[in-house]
Structure 1
């Protein structure tokens, strides 16, 4: 039972990370009004968030080896909660852009940390299935942003909606500290720092594997249209261009 509790807690952290990642995708019009931002400036929110997320992957992996899943999940949730609180309370465009960068950084720490738990807590035969379930079930965060978050945003306004998301982050921090352990037996952490040369050598080794390159280019080549729609322009397009209600747009998304 304990492995499932650990995994479920990590999965919840990832679901909330996806929620944090996608909230701006359903509040683009409100963000444009709140921060007096043009569409091109508003796009900077998401572009910067994704750049930070991507650039942080290798450093996040090194930190994961050094400190373990529990610490990184807590830190990721804390960063995303901070970013959402800044968004909830600020009306400054530079502060809002910085807040989205912080959300991207916290997001980068979460998924790999949750995946790292699986091989430590489950037998090898279950690892592929649970890894896939983690990725698939994590997309429930998109549902949370498209339906209940959008409903709060429409009914109560910007600040209550983003404060509610930040509250979920605090719940994740508490549960992760209470329930997640890196392994069933001990810490299993890297005690010595890894040199830059070793890091680059390992990246090269992984990159030379055909499966790595296939996964990389498949991910890059098939996701851009979905990312544009889900993270930024989906709801504005469905409501303004297609004339749907926000409720209908959120349900379709």
Structure 2
């Protein structure tokens, strides 16, 4: 009986470098998502829009974000985290550039749709990076840390972006976000890899027991949903995220943009 060859472990410095770039990309993603929250009055003046129209920006953006989750999951299985994060950052950069020069509400809505589509690809891809690069027992903690750190992007949207807009112009402020998106498109492509060196597939490893699990979603959506919903951790996470951040999210992305 032969002893299975242990999977290679990524150097610590490289593991943290990949995670740092991935979580920085997520911070920028949250900044892009919330970028209208502190400049609602400026947006209303620029596009001659009322409060209902401004709320529609957020609703359409979130609808695209939600609708892209299943396609993103399937594409993650096919292509891996690196190209998905890279494409997501590029699409968001295009959306912010379009918003910076949009002449009317119609083009601004298209820009927010691009932001929703690009944003949808980032967080699931970052979770994929964590699942593949970190030991299995460390991954849940890193997921929580990523979520908490990533939300600091809302602060960047509220304070520095608003200050930059009022010190310069709408085009400069949102063009700067587009420039950051281009920078992170290059950075994520250069640094992030689908899996640690020496591995031929996306797997998570339990360093205590040696158990190896393939990281994938189910192509059969009905089966995948049943299996996910049967796990008590899924139901806990669903209801926790459905109830606790609802009021804050609604205010930040909808009514907060009117003030």
* TM-score (norm. length: structure 2): 0.85
Q: How many corresponding residue pairs?
A: 233
Gaps of 5+ in 2: 1-12, 204-216
Alignment match, 1:188: 201
Counterpart of 2:58 (choices 23, 46, 50) is 46
Alignment match, 1:105: 117
Aligned: 1:37 with 2:46: no
Higher helix share: 1
Alignment match, 1:231: 253
RMSD: 1.8
Shifted more, 124-133 versus 46-55: the winner is 124-133
- Give 1:213 shift: 2.5
- Which consecutive aligned stretches of 4+ in structure 1 deviate over 4 angstroms post-superposition? none
Alignment match, 1:157: 169
- State the structure with more CA Rg: 2
Alignment match, 1:82: 94
Counterpart of 1:138 (choices 150, 155, 176) is 150
Task: Answer yes or no: is the 8 Å Cα contact 1:68–1:182 preserved in 2.
Answer: yes
Q: Secondary structure at the match of 2:185?
A: helix
- Give 1:187 shift: 5.3
Task: Answer yes or no: is the 8 Å Cα contact 2:93–2:181 preserved in 1.
Answer: yes
Check 1:219–1:17 CA distance in 2 against 1; reply closer, same or farther (3 A cut).
same
Equivalents in 2 of 1:195, 1:236: separation in Å? 41
Gaps of 5+ in 1: 238-253
Equivalents in 1 of 2:257, 2:222: separation in Å? 41
Counterpart of 2:159 (choices 147, 154, 157) is 147
- Give 1:189 shift: 6.0
